[in-house]
Amino acid sequence: MSTIISVETCDVRFPTSQQLDGSDAMNADPDYSAAYVTIGTDASDGLEGHGFVFTIGRGNDVQVAAINALRGHLLGRNTEELLADMGETSRLFMHDSQLRWLGPEKGIMHMAIGAVVNALWDLRAKRAGMPLWQLLSGLSPDEILSLVDFRYLTDALTPAEARDILVRAEPGRAARTAQLREVGYPAYTTSPGWLGYSDEKLARLCREAVAEGFPQIKLKVGSNLDDDRRRLRIARDTVGPDFPLAIDANQRWDVPDAIAWVTALAEFDLAWIEEPTSPDDVLGHAAIARAVAPVRVATGEHCQNRVVFKQMLQADALQVMQIDATRVGGVNENIAHLLLAAKFGVPVCPHAGGVGLCEVVQHLSMFDFVAVSGTMEGRMIEFVDHLHEHFITPTDVRRGRYHAPIAPGAGSEMRAASLDAYRWTGQHTGVTV
Amino acid sequence: MSTIISVETCDVRFPTSQQLDGSDAMNADPDYSAAYVTIGTDASDGLEGHGFVFTIGRGNDVQVAAINALRGHLLGRNTEELLADMGETSRLFMHDSQLRWLGPEKGIMHMAIGAVVNALWDLRAKRAGMPLWQLLSGLSPDEILSLVDFRYLTDALTPAEARDILVRAEPGRAARTAQLREVGYPAYTTSPGWLGYSDEKLARLCREAVAEGFPQIKLKVGSNLDDDRRRLRIARDTVGPDFPLAIDANQRWDVPDAIAWVTALAEFDLAWIEEPTSPDDVLGHAAIARAVAPVRVATGEHCQNRVVFKQMLQADALQVMQIDATRVGGVNENIAHLLLAAKFGVPVCPHAGGVGLCEVVQHLSMFDFVAVSGTMEGRMIEFVDHLHEHFITPTDVRRGRYHAPIAPGAGSEMRAASLDAYRWTGQHTGVTV
Among A383, A362, A54, which residue's Cα sits nearest to residue A213? A383
Q: Which portions of chain B are predicted below pLDDT 50?
A: 430-433
Contact B56 A152 (CB under 8 A): no
The nearest CA of chain B is from the CA of A287 a distance in Å of 10
Alpha helices for B240-330 (secondary structure H): 255-264, 282-292, 306-314
Going A253 to A258 to A262 to A263, the CA torsion angle's sign is negative
Rounded Cα distance, B245 and B242, in Å: 9
Report the C-alpha gap between A366 and A133 in whole angstroms. Answer: 6
DSSP class of A430: S
Q: What is the pLDDT of residue B374?
A: 98
CA distance B282 to B297: 12
**Chain-chain contact of B254 with A58 (C-beta, under 8 angstroms):** no
Tally the C-alpha atoms within 13 A of residue A351's C-alpha that lie toward its C-beta: 22
Dist CA B181 CA B176 (whole Å) = 8
- Tell me if B138 sits within 8 A of B370, measured CB to CB: no
CB A359 within 8 A of CB A404: no
Secondary structure of residue B149 in the 3-state scheme: coil
CATH code of A170-419, in short, is: 3.20.20.120
Minimum-distance CB partner of A284 among B109, B155, B278: B155
Distances in whole angstroms, Cα of residue B94 to Cα of each of B39, B67, B74? 18, 13, 13
Per residue in B47-58, pLDDT tens? Answer: 999 999 999 999
Hey, what amino acid is at A160? A
Task: Find the length of chain B.
Answer: 433
User: Alpha helices of B248-281 — where are they, by DSSP H?
Assistant: 255-264
Q: Are strands B397-398 and B401-402 parallel, antiparallel or unpaired?
A: antiparallel
Q: What is the dihedral of CA A265, A194, A272, A331, to 10 degrees?
A: -160
Angle at B327 between CA B320 and CA B342, to 5 degrees: 35
Measured between alpha carbons, how far is B308 from A104 in angstroms, rounded to an integer? 14
Specify the pLDDT at position A432.
Answer: 44
Peptide bond into A30 cis (omega under 30): no
Which of A29, A33, A94, A97 to substitute to test the interface with B, most B CBs within 10 Å?
A97
- Give CA–CA dist A181/A193, Å, rounded: 30
Q: Where are chain A's structural domains?
A: 4-129, 170-419
pLDDT value, residue B17: 85
ipTM of the complex model: 0.96
How close, in Å, is residue B309 to chain A by CA atoms?
Answer: 10
Q: Which of B365, B376, B304 is closest to B335 using CA atoms?
A: B365
Task: Say which of B220, B337, B386, B403 is annotated catalytic.
Answer: B220
Question: Does the structural domain B171-416 have CATH classification 3.20.20.120?
Answer: yes
Q: Which of helix, strand or coil describes residue B290?
A: helix
Q: What is the pLDDT of residue B429?
A: 57
In A185-248, beta strands by DSSP E: 185-193, 217-220, 245-248
Per-residue confidence (pLDDT) for residue A20, from 0 to 100: 64
Nearest to B364 by CA among B392, B327, B389, B400: B327
Active site residue A220: yes
3-class secondary structure, B114: helix
Number of other CB atoms surrounding residue A124 within 10 Å: 26
User: In the prediction, which pLDDT does B85 show?
Assistant: 98
Residue A193: per-residue pLDDT: 80
Measure the CA–CA gap between B173 and B370, rounded to whole angstroms.
Answer: 5
What is the rounded CA–CA span in Å between residue B283 and residue B363? 31
Residue A351 bears catalytic tag: yes
Residues 6+ apart with CB under 8 A from B30: A97, A98, A101, B16, B17, B22, B23, B56, B57
Query: What is the nearest CA distance from B105 to chain A, expressed in angstroms?
Result: 9
Q: Give the model's pLDDT for residue A25.
A: 74
Residue A88 has phi, psi (to 5 degrees) of -65, -40
Give the residues across from B274 on adjacent strands.
B248, B298
Task: State how far the alpha carbon of A293 is from the alpha carbons of A225, A264, A379, in Å.
Answer: 20, 13, 19
Strands (DSSP E) contained in B214-359 are 217-220, 245-248, 270-274, 296-299, 320-321
Measured CA to CA in angstroms, residue A53 lies from A191, A198, A416 at distances of 21, 30, 17
CA atoms within 13 A on the CB side of B95: 14
Give the torsion through C-alpha atoms of B95, B101, B102, B107, to 10 deg. 60
Q: Cα(B232)–Cα(B253) distance, rounded to whole angstroms?
A: 18
Q: Which ranges of chain A have pLDDT less than 50?
A: 430-433
Residues of A in contact with B310 (CB under 8 A): 281
Distances (CA, A) of B176 to A191, A213, B182, B367, B368: 59, 69, 10, 10, 11
Number of Cα atoms under 13 Å in the Cβ half of residue B244: 18
Q: What CA–CA distance (Å, rounded) separates A392 from B399?
A: 67
Q: pLDDT tens across B267-319, in order?
A: 999 999 999 999 999 999 999 999 999 999 999 999 999 999 999 999 999 99
* Of residues A59, A97, A279, nearest to B109 (C-beta): A59
Q: Show residues of chain B in contact with A58, CB under 8 Å.
A: 69, 72, 96, 98-99
CA distances from B5 to A44, B2, B38, B39, B416 (A): 53, 9, 11, 8, 19
Task: Find the closest chain B residue to A313 by CA distance.
Answer: B283
Whether residue A97 and residue B27 make contact (CB cut-off 8 A), yes or no, is yes
Cα angle B222, A72, A359; round to 5: 95
Question: What's the pLDDT at A21?
Answer: 67
The CA-CA-CA angle for residues B261, B266, B271, to 5°, reads: 100
If we measure between CA atoms, which residue out of A114, A148, A149 comes closest to residue A361?
A114
Contacts of A62 in chain B (CB under 8 A): 62, 65-66, 69, 102, 108-109
CB contact under 8 A, B31 and A98: yes
Contacts of A93 in chain B (CB under 8 A): none
Q: What is the C-alpha separation between A208 and A317, in angstroms, rounded?
A: 33
CA distance B217 to B203: 12
Q: What pLDDT is attached to residue B27?
A: 74
- The model's pTM is 0.97
* All residues at 6 or more sequence positions from B44 whose CB lies less than 8 Å from its CB, including other chains: none
Report the 10 Å Cβ neighbour count for B43: 17
Under an 8 A CB cutoff, do A287 and B315 touch?
A: no
**Contact status, residue A10 vs residue A64, Cβ threshold 8 Å:** yes
Instruction: Quote the CA–CA distance of A327 and A305 in Å, as a whole number.
Output: 8
Under CATH, to which class is A4-129 assigned? alpha beta
pLDDT of residue A429: 57
Enumerate the residues of chain B whose CB falls inside 8 A of the CB of residue A314. Answer: 283
Q: How many CB pairs under 8 A join A and B?
A: 196
Q: Is A240 helix (H, G, I), strand (E, B) or coil?
A: coil
Which residue does chain B place closest to A57, by CA atoms? B98
